[in-house]
Amino acid sequence: MQLDDLKARADELRSEAARSHRIRVCLAASCQSSGAGEVCEGFERAVESAGRGDDVEVRRVGCLGLCSAGPLVAVDGRNAAFSELYRHVGPDDVEGLLDSVEGEPVEQLRCPTDVPFFQRQHKVVLENSGLVDPDRIEDYIAQDGYQALVRAVTEMTPEDVLREVQTSGLRGRGGAGYPAGLKWSTVAKAVESPKYVICNGDEGDPGAFMDRAVLESDPHRVLEGMALAAYAVGASRGFVYVRAEYPLAVERLERAIRQATKEGFLGHGVCASPFDFTIELRMGAGAFVCGEETALMASIEGLRGQPRPRPPYPAESGLWGGPTLINNVETLANVPPVVRNGGEWFASIGTPDSTGTKVFALAGRVENTGLVEVPMGITLREIVEEVGGGVPDGRAFKAVQTGGPSGGCIPVELTETSVEYDTLRAVGSIMGSGGMIVMDETSCMVDVARYFMEFCMTESCGKCIPCRAGTVQLHDLLVKIADRRATSADLALLEELCEVVQMTSLCGLGQTAPNPVQSTLRYFRHEYEERLVETPPGEFLVPLDVVDT
Amino acid sequence: MKVAVKRVSPPSDDKRWKLVDVTMRRNGYSAHALIETLHVVQNSFGYLDGRAMRYVARSLRIPLSRVYGVATFYHLFSLEPTGEHTCVVCTGTACYIKGAPDLIDAVEDQYDVSIGGTTADGRLSLLSARCLGACGLAPAVVVDGEIRGRQTSEALLQEIGEATCNSTT
Amino acid sequence: MPPKPQSPTTSVRVVTLTIDDIDVGAREDETLLQVAAENGVRIPSLCHLDGLGEWGGCRLCLVEVEGSSKLLSACSTHVAEGMCVRTDSEKLRRYRKTIVELLFAERNHVCSVCVSNGHCELQDLATECGVDHVRVPYRNDVFHVDSSHDLFRVDHNRCVLCTRCVRVCDEIEGAHTWDVMGRGAGCRVITDLNQPWGESDTCTSCGKCVQVCPTGALVRKGTAVGEMEKTPDFLPYLTQMRGEV
């Protein structure tokens, strides 16, 4: 297949689609659970009974972003004459919205899109989300999908692809922000074979669902990113590892892999080039620690998901001992636009050290909960107050938590901090995979720390002592403090144990488990101290006589 | 040297073993298909019992203790049958700060069951999930596979009451 | 399973490095723990045992390596030219001591009534790391004792989950009777499908697991307090003769 053929096909698909009106119904997990399935069927029935199947297309799409206002429906006029977004759509609204394709909007359901929630966003990863039907490869092709891959295998060398990724400055979106170009080049340089490419879709942070939205809304983008990565590093076999808790993502990925293989974008001789690449799907089984690279590889090998010490890094010795490239979903979803538009284009978005955009799952005590994609360098305050619409019910904005159980709480005074890997680390949190939980004045920080420690304790794999035994002790100390049974000696022990667990644990789970405690201690120490007691209630401490010998 | 492999026959003529066999065959009976295979057993039978684990271990030629180790490592595998109805409360961060613990307390009190357990009569299992990815609808609960957002204790107890009443047994 | 990657056959180079200011030479394929031992530098460790594959779980052999922001486990880190390693510092001593304390608090290690008293690696480590008392609360969870085997006993109260028994049974004996179940604090070593040891179909009763166990968790029956002495020294010879490691 040549690039020109694919471009011609995209043009044809686009002009064909423009000939009819379109009703896009969001069927991502959140809208689906508010009844979007029923709404969608309502539209399909109404279109059929009105005999308008030829000029109105009902399209089942992925996430439209503003999850708290679901079910969301977008109505596009023929030839892109107009586009309106509607919120809280129920089955009774179907008829009215179907009539609105002629141009008269349904005012009471209109969701204004000229508000900061939409205006401040910059879509790269989510550019197709809500536009394409994830079950149809044609929709992805119509959005110029797979053109980067075809261009790469027909016109570019693996080194060219690698260079674009290096130029882009793209950093890993899984949390730590390791430069993708550096990781890729290490695998590319490895002499052993076979090599593997793994897409890490084991999104485990509670309160984060970015990868889920990408996989459910635009699965082909991830497959294209993986194929480009495989071409650049010289791998011929890939695995997508997805949480079993995301059955819809699993189903859509399976279908997407079948379609892409049938169309020749995957499999033996990708796009009639000498490059072979197959992708297999692997399901997790409910273990947060499997988000850690070495644990994830153990899980793919059918073993307990326990990490092993690094070095050696997966890039040298990974899956079955072969050099392995592991990137998370969002990282790989950035790759097709990087190759299509060039690394310099990507580097022009965001800041010099943190290029591109970041998808956040905005949740907690905030008006607009949902999925947002913002350019790096935006401040936390802008995200919470402008994009998120601020804290509801007249309460005071207290802190924002990023990075889940590995991250920290950033107090309202520091929310002018810009969203970059290094600035967030400097204030004691991390970028993380993209969970952003807003807390108001009613949130107790000791309880927040306890919540995350309980999470780490139950998710600890049990392999290394500091994490296995240390998180249990830390959790107990936090419960003791929260229950006002702890003394200042307990607080000192808490701090010391935090350091030991952080410094000595085997993998990232244990090493970062103390972060929520340390960051809340740093900014909200008084909340800990005001819960301390001089002598624990109900316990009488009888000092022992010390006899000097 | 090629050794003729004799396949182990399933523990019973239950048709569901066919699904298990298909998965193992598709993966060439390789040891790394263990988790995939256990998923199929879990989905087909609802839980993993000793018989199933023995069969999978022999078929894939994996030590018994490793199968047991893997089965108990991952949350999604259960070694005991779950109740007739299930109520899964999301305890992700967003749901937690919007009141998931209260929902759990309410169900625990009403049905005398603790989280992760099943009522004595086997009617209801109360489970927790780490994050359903429905943070916009916090707190979220899944009753018998159907997700319900913005739950309150009263509404949830009513849902469960209706679900368990409607069953035939 | 896909074929193992072919490693290019290159001759092993010799490198020089410093361990605690001592200049040492080493083969490139050696670990820091091996090289330190060869040069008389003692690094505490628990899960490591000569002759078995590395596990990297006890974190006692952590060392500081110049240029690395993280502490590295000496058992799993290979030497490199010009490496500058510190095996002992105030910080490392403090961490090791805390880790041993966490172990003592995790399960019920009551030395005075243990058959391994006086011949116990955990006890020796406590002495070596200067543990005088345990600052974290004892968990006091009750663990099971399994005496169903004719010759041996497993007392989970004294298990430190080093997995030496799992590894020796898999790598040396080839029976793979032992493995670990559960996760986190709920981990436990098991035989077969978590059945009584005496009912295991795969156990050959070879007793290697007992010999490599660092504490009184796996013991020979019929020993009284302090009588259980173990001899894991057979291992390196056995692995060498089998030409495996």
* Segment A277-335, tens digit of pLDDT: 999 999 999 899 999 999 999 999 999 999 999 889 999 999 999 999 999 999 999 99
Residues A35-39 have a mean pLDDT of 91
- Asked if C4 and A321 come within 8 Å (Cβ–Cβ), the reply is yes
Stretch (H or E) spanning B86: strand B85-90
Model confidence pTM above 0.90: yes
Fold topology of A357-440? Ubiquitin-like (UB roll) (3.10.20)
From chain A, the residues in CB contact with C53 under 8 A are none
CB contact under 8 A, B69 and C180: yes
Contact C205, C149 (CB under 8 A): yes
Average confidence (pLDDT) over B139-145: 87
Nearest to B35 among A33, A208, A302 (CB): A302
What pLDDT, in 10s, does the model give residues C107-159?
A: 999 999 999 999 999 999 999 999 999 999 999 999 999 999 999 999 999 99
Q: What's the confidence (pLDDT) of residue A545?
A: 63
Upper half-sphere CA count for residue A229 (Cβ side, 13 Å): 35
Mean pLDDT across A484-510: 96
Torsion, Cα A446 A451 A453 A459, to 10 degrees, reads 180
Inter-chain contact B63–C176, Cβ cutoff 8 Å?
A: yes
CA A487 to chain centre: 40
Interface of B with A (CB under 8 A): 31-36, 38-39, 62, 66, 69-70, 73-77, 91-94, 96-98, 129-138, 140, 147-149
Choose the mutation target among A300, A467, A468, A546 for the interface with C, i.e. most C CBs under 10 Å: A468
Q: Are C171 and C53 in contact (CB under 8 A)?
A: yes
Torsion angle of the four alpha carbons A277, A281, A282, A285, in this order, in degrees rounded to the nearest 10: 160
Average pLDDT value for chain A: 92
Cα–Cα distance between A146 and A271 in angstroms, integer? Answer: 10
pLDDT score for A543: 57
C56 Cβ under 8 Å from any chain A Cβ: yes
Q: Which segments of chain C belong to CATH 3.10.20.740?
A: 15-88
Chain C residues touching A506 at Cβ < 8 A:
56-57, 59, 73
Q: Does C180 contact A at CB distance below 8 Å?
A: yes
Give pLDDT tens digits for C18-28: 999 999 999 99
- Which residues of C lie inside 8 Å of B (Cβ-Cβ)? 1, 170, 175-183, 190-194, 202
pLDDT at B80 over 50: yes
pLDDT at B24 over 70: yes
Top mean-pLDDT range of A68-72, A383-387, B87-91: A383-387
Per-residue model confidence (pLDDT) at position A248: 86
| 8 Å CB contact of B34 and A364 | no
Per-residue pLDDT of C168-224, as tens digits, reads: 999 999 999 999 999 999 999 999 999 999 999 999 999 999 999 999 999 999 999
Predicted pLDDT of residue B167:
57
Q: Could you tell me the pLDDT band of residue A549, with boundaries at 50, 70 and 90?
A: low
Longest dimension (CA), chain A: 101
B35-61: average pLDDT? 95
Q: Where are the domains of chain A?
A: 3-112, 144-347, 357-440, 445-529
Interface of A with B in 294-313 (CB under 8 A): 299-306
Q: Do C99 and A466 touch (CB under 8 A)?
A: yes
Distance of CA A129 to the CA centre of its chain: 13
- Report CB contact under 8 Å: C193, B65: yes
| A445-529 classified as CATH 1.10.10.10 | no
Task: Work out the pLDDT band at C4, boundaries 50, 70, 90.
Answer: very low
What Rg, from alpha-carbon coordinates, does chain C have?
A: 19
Check if B81 contacts C (Cβ < 8 Å): no
Q: What is the mean pLDDT of residues A131-159?
A: 95
Give the model's confidence band at C5: pLDDT under 50 very low, under 70 low, under 90 confident, else very high. very low
- Render pLDDT for C183-193 as a digit per residue (tens, 0 to 9): 999 999 999 99
The CATH architecture annotation of domain C15-88 reads Roll (3.10)
Query: In what order do the strands lie in the sheet containing B146-148?
Result: B124-129, B85-90, B141-143, B146-148
| C7 reaches A (C-beta below 8 A) | yes
* A3-112 carries CATH number 3.40.30.10: yes
Residue B168, pLDDT score:
46
CATH number of B85-165: 3.40.30.10
Query: What number is the average pLDDT over the span A185-193?
Result: 94
Q: Is the pLDDT of residue C37 over 90?
A: yes
- Going by their DSSP bridges, the two strands A73-76 and A56-61 should be labelled as unpaired
Per-residue pLDDT, averaged over A526-541, amounts to 81
Q: How far is CA C105 from CA A464, A517, C158, in A?
A: 15, 22, 11
Q: What is the 3-state composition of chain C as percent helix, strand, coil, each rounded to the nearest 5?
A: 30, 15, 55
Place of tokens 């357990």: B117
> Nearest CB to B66: which of C179, C183, C194?
C179
Quick check: A449 and A523 in contact, CB under 8 A? no
A258, two tokens? 């079948």
Q: Which of the four CATH numbers 3.90.226.10, 3.40.630.10, 3.30.70.20, 3.40.50.300 does domain C113-232 have?
A: 3.30.70.20
Are residues C176 and B54, on separate chains, in Cβ contact within 8 Å? no
Q: ipTM score of the complex?
A: 0.93
Pairing of strands A357-364, A435-440: parallel
Distance CA B64, CA B49 (A): 12
- The pLDDT value recorded for residue B163 is 85
pLDDT of residue A328: 94
pLDDT for the residue C10: 59
Q: What single string gives the DSSP state of each residue in C131-178?
A: --S--SPP------EE--SSSEEEEGGG-----HHHHIIIIII----E
Encoding tokens for residue B166? 């409607």
Mean pLDDT over each residue of chain C, to the nearest integer: 92
> What are C64-109's pLDDT values in tens digits?
999 999 999 999 999 999 999 999 999 999 999 999 999 999 999 9
Indicate the CATH number for domain A144-347: 3.40.50.11540
What is the residue extent of each domain of chain B?
A: 16-73, 85-165
A528 touches chain B (CB under 8 A): no
* pLDDT above 80: residue B125: yes
Pick the residue with more confidence: B4 or A241?
Answer: A241
Residue C241: pLDDT band with limits 50, 70, 90: confident
- Residues 6 or more apart whose CB falls under 8 angstroms from that of B135 comprise A30, A67, A207, A209, A361, A363, A369, B92, B93, B94, B95
pLDDT above 90 covers a percentage of chain A that reads: 79
DSSP string, B99-125: THHHHHHHHHHHHT--TT-B-TTSSEE
| pLDDT value at residue A218 | 95
The answer to whether residue A375 scores a pLDDT higher than 90 is yes
Interface contact C95-A504, CB threshold 8 A: yes
Choose the closest CB to A207 out of B34, B69, B92.
B92
Per-residue pLDDT at A253 exceeds 50: yes
> Does pLDDT of C2 surpass 50?
no
What confidence score (pLDDT) does residue C1 get?
A: 41
Q: What is the pLDDT of residue A539?
A: 58
Interatomic CA distance for residues A165 and A158, integer angstroms: 11
Determine contact: A192 vs chain C, CB below 8 A. yes
**8 Å CB contact between A409 and A519:** yes
